[in-house]
């Protein structure tokens, strides 16, 4: 009776049971092996078709780019992570959650959740040398994780550039003297002389609130989500200018954006230092700083404090969106990813703390001038950046200069973060369609269409009721869907014991302390990080169920909140959808299909192999995007080892 024998070898050789007659020749992908496999001295020869001819020059696939230097990567990541949230969210969370006490849960969440997840995403991108979708060739079953990342990134890009458009509008308005939102402006005389009362909130309106709600947003002309109203064309021009700037900065990929970050990533630090120095000289600034840092130890017992700390760390680092993974994919294989991880994460969180002094020193002066507590002038989100802080700047001598400086800083912060999100999208597409890299005209056309598409979709957010749609997308784009995607990334890489070894392979030439620190990260991945992620996810669901979504006094209707839930669900549902697609493409029983779909494809890490030639341009060899199938009989397997069937061995045999 014929016997059955299967063997799996590295290089993506898959098991397939097949019955052969004794003495029948072994086959590889349908080719008969002409040599006698029982003779260990013989070498594999193939009775097969000649290799495919080299592709014509216009279809040759160029290798991926790499960063021009390590500082370009560091500055790009710091610019991506240090965004508007560091300036307008962290200081507010700090004073709301117990002042200086908030730093305790913040740094606990940073070192047990943020930094380990950050390293995980950087390492995956650097080792795989591929974007958010292509990198999952290491496990085709989980390609949906990359698609989900892409969905989140697209939602973020859609609304994030609207913030830059608002910043542009304020920046242009800052060249007027007096500032149009100050009491010195003639149009605001009736506001400052006669206390105009907001009928909905029952309190007096400031000129900066009127400028923001009427001149910029036009929200007073809209009744809610169902009534967007007309497009506000001054903002439409600002949004167009913002996308044009993004297009030209990213036209040549990391070769252009890697140079731009030398300015955009460092300029905000210069402005923050200047604002801190100026704020320290103002009357009342110490009261503002004291309000920012005064500890309230009782707040540590509140679950909301811990959730706010975890959320701020998670979102400020930009984990799970795909930008980090994409930027790391352009690193050299032996780059010290652990060092970069520590520098970027600590630098990002230090910036958040540092920015609080610049914000609250000037808000303290504003409260002193008005004779009210600091808590009455403090705000978060757009309310801080476009209402409270501009009003405080208008009270300073030389207010035009300070306003220009502040909004220029906000513009730089926003552009850097958008670079990272756009890089995640473009890298994912270019890796899936690598022929675009070799054709600058096609690549420019793709980038232009992408930016123009985002511009058209963004017009909804700059209508009279656009702020309602902005708040909806902002609330759900990076909500539970992003946490679920990150949980899948964490679970997948944690169960793979090989992942830590892969990191060691990359840092083998690095200082010995890197390997020791890796043990700490491994412990976090196994014990701490999953529980903290589940805590955040549970809190989000509880808050989403119990707390109505609102903007100001407007409460969102049930259908609006349901639409937001659908946005978040669409992102995380990509994981099971594409898992089903991957399994359906395989053959055999359900168990066999599952086993095949979790095995790496033969082109896994092919990009890094191509770049290993010291920068020399090489064309990626023709590779099969499916596992090899080897059918062997008992006699065939007598002297065969796994080494005989690696992808490299068969390639070398074919080339010979």
Mean residue pLDDT of the chain comes to: 80
Can you tell me which residue has the tokens 């990198």? 135
Count up the domains in the chain and report the number.
Answer: 1
Residue 34 forms part of a structural domain:
no
Please give the pLDDT value at position 560. Answer: 93
387 marked ligand binding residue: no
**Tokens standing for residue 148:** 């989900």
- The whole domain housing 567 covers 71-185+206-585
Contact predicate 627/12, CB 8 Å: yes
Distance set, CA 324 to CA 131, 233, 509 (Å): 10, 34, 23
3-state helix, strand, coil in the chain (%, to 5): 65, 5, 30
Q: Rounded mean pLDDT of 600-606?
A: 67
Please give the pLDDT value at position 491. Answer: 85
Question: pTM for the complete prediction?
Answer: 0.80
86 marked ligand binding residue: yes
Phi-psi region of 463 (alpha: psi -120 to 50; beta: other; left: phi over 0): beta
Check pLDDT > 90 for residue 588.
no
Counting residues of the chain whose pLDDT is more than 90, the rounded percentage is 33
348 marked ligand binding residue: yes
At 89-141, the pLDDT tens digits run 888 888 888 788 888 899 999 999 899 999 999 999 999 888 899 999 888 89
413 marked ligand binding residue: yes
Which carries the bigger pLDDT value, residue 487 or residue 510?
487
Check pLDDT > 80 for residue 606.
no
Residue 560 forms part of a structural domain:
yes
Could you give the CA distance from residue 633 to residue 281 in angstroms, rounded to a whole number? Answer: 85
79 marked ligand binding residue: yes
At 409-457, the pLDDT tens digits run 999 999 989 988 999 999 999 988 888 887 888 989 999 999 999 999 9
* pLDDT interval class at 652 (50, 70, 90): very low
Contact predicate 286/292, CB 8 Å: no
Lowest mean per-residue pLDDT among 3-12, 160-169, 405-414, 499-508:
3-12
Q: Rounded mean pLDDT of 545-571?
A: 91
Residue 20 forms part of a structural domain:
no
CA neighbor of 522 nearest in space, from 534, 509, 504: 504
Can you give the C-alpha Rg of the chain in angstroms? 28
Q: How would you class 536 by CB atoms within 10 Å of its CB: exposed for 0-12, middle for 13-18, buried for 19 or more?
A: buried
Residue 428 forms part of a structural domain:
yes
At 322-365, the pLDDT tens digits run 999 999 999 988 888 999 999 999 999 899 988 889 888 888 88
What is the CATH number for 564? Answer: 1.20.1740
631 marked ligand binding residue: no
∠ Cα 216 221 227 (to 5°): 110
Residue 597 forms part of a structural domain:
no
**Tokens standing for residue 304:** 């909301």
**Tokens standing for residue 166:** 């608002």
Residue 50 forms part of a structural domain:
no
316 marked ligand binding residue: yes
Which carries the bigger pLDDT value, residue 23 or residue 216?
216
Check pLDDT > 90 for residue 407.
yes
* pLDDT interval class at 509 (50, 70, 90): confident
Residue 652 forms part of a structural domain:
no
Please give the pLDDT value at position 62. Answer: 62
């Amino acid at each position: 009776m014929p016997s059955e024998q299967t063997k799996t070898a590295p290089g993506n050789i898959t098991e397939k049971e097949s019955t052969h007659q004794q003495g029948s020749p072994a086959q590889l992908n349908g080719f008969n092996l002409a040599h006698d496999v029982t003779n260990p001295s013989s070498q594999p020869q193939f009775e097969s078709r000649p290799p495919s001819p080299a592709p014509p020059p216009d279809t040759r696939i160029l290798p991926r780019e790499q960063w021009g230097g390590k500082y370009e990567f560091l500055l790009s990541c710091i610019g991506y992570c240090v965004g508007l949230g560091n300036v307008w969210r962290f200081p507010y969370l700090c004073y709301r959650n117990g002042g200086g006490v908030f730093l305790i849960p913040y740094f606990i969440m940073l070192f047990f959740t943020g930094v380990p997840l950050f390293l995980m995403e950087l390492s995956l991108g650097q080792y795989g040398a591929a974007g958010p979708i292509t990198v999952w060739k290491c496990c085709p079953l989980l390609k949906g994780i990359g698609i989900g990342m892409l969905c989140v990134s697209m939602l973020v890009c859609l609304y994030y550039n609207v913030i830059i458009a608002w910043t542009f509008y304020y920046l242009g308005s800052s060249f007027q003297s007096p500032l149009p939102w100050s009491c010195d402006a003639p149009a605001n005389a009736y506001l400052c002389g006669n206390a105009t009362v907001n009928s909905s909130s029952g309190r007096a309106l400031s000129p900066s609130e009127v400028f923001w709600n009427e001149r910029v947003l036009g929200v007073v002309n809209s009744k809610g989500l169902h009534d967007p109203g007309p497009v506000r064309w001054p903002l439409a021009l600002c949004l167009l200018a913002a996308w044009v700037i993004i297009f030209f900065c990213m036209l040549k990929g990391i070769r252009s954006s890697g140079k731009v970050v030398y300015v955009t990533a460092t300029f905000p630090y210069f402005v923050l230092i200047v604002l801190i120095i100026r704020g320290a000289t103002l009357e009342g600034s110490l009261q503002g700083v004291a309000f920012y840092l005064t500890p309230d130890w009782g707040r540590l017992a509140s679950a909301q404090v811990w959730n706010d700390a975890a959320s701020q760390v998670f979102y400020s680092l930009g984990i799970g969106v795909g930008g980090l993974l994409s930027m790391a994919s352009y690193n050299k294989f032996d780059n010290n990813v652990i060092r970069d991880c520590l520098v970027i994460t600590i630098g990002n969180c230090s910036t958040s703390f540092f920015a609080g002094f610049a914000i609250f020193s000037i808000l303290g002066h504003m409260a002193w001038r008005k004779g009210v507590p600091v808590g009455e002038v403090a705000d978060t989100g757009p309310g801080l950046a476009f209402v409270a802080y501009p009003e405080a700047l208008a009270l300073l001598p030389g207010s035009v200069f300070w306003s220009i400086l502040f909004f220029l800083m906000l513009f730089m912060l926003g552009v850097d973060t958008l670079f990272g999100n756009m890089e995640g999208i473009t890298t994912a597409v270019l890796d899936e369609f690598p022929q675009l890299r070799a054709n600058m005209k096609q690549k420019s056309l793709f980038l232009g269409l992408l930016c123009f598409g985002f511009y058209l979709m963004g017009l909804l957010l700059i209508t009279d009721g656009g702020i309602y749609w902005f708040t909806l997308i902002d609330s759900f784009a990076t909500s539970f869907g992003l946490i679920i995607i990150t949980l899948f990334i964490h679970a997948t890489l944690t169960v793979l014991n090989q992942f830590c070894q892969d990191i060691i392979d990359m840092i083998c030439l690095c200082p010995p302390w890197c390997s020791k620190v890796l043990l700490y990260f491994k412990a976090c991945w196994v014990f701490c990080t999953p529980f903290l992620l589940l805590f955040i996810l549970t809190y989000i669901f509880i808050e989403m169920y119990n707390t109505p979504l609102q903007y100001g006094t407007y409460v969102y209707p049930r259908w609006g909140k349901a639409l937001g839930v659908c946005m978040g669900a669409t992102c995380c549902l990509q994981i099971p959808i594409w898992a089903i697609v991957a399994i359906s493409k395989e053959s055999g029983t359900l168990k066999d299909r599952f086993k095949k779909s979790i095995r790496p494809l033969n082109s896994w890490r092919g990009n890094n192999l191509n770049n290993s030639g010291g920068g020399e341009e090489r064309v990626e060899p023709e590779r099969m995007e499916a596992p090899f199938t080897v059918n062997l009989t008992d006699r065939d397997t007598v002297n065969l080892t796994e080494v005989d069937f690696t992808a490299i061995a068969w390639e070398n045999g074919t080339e010979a």
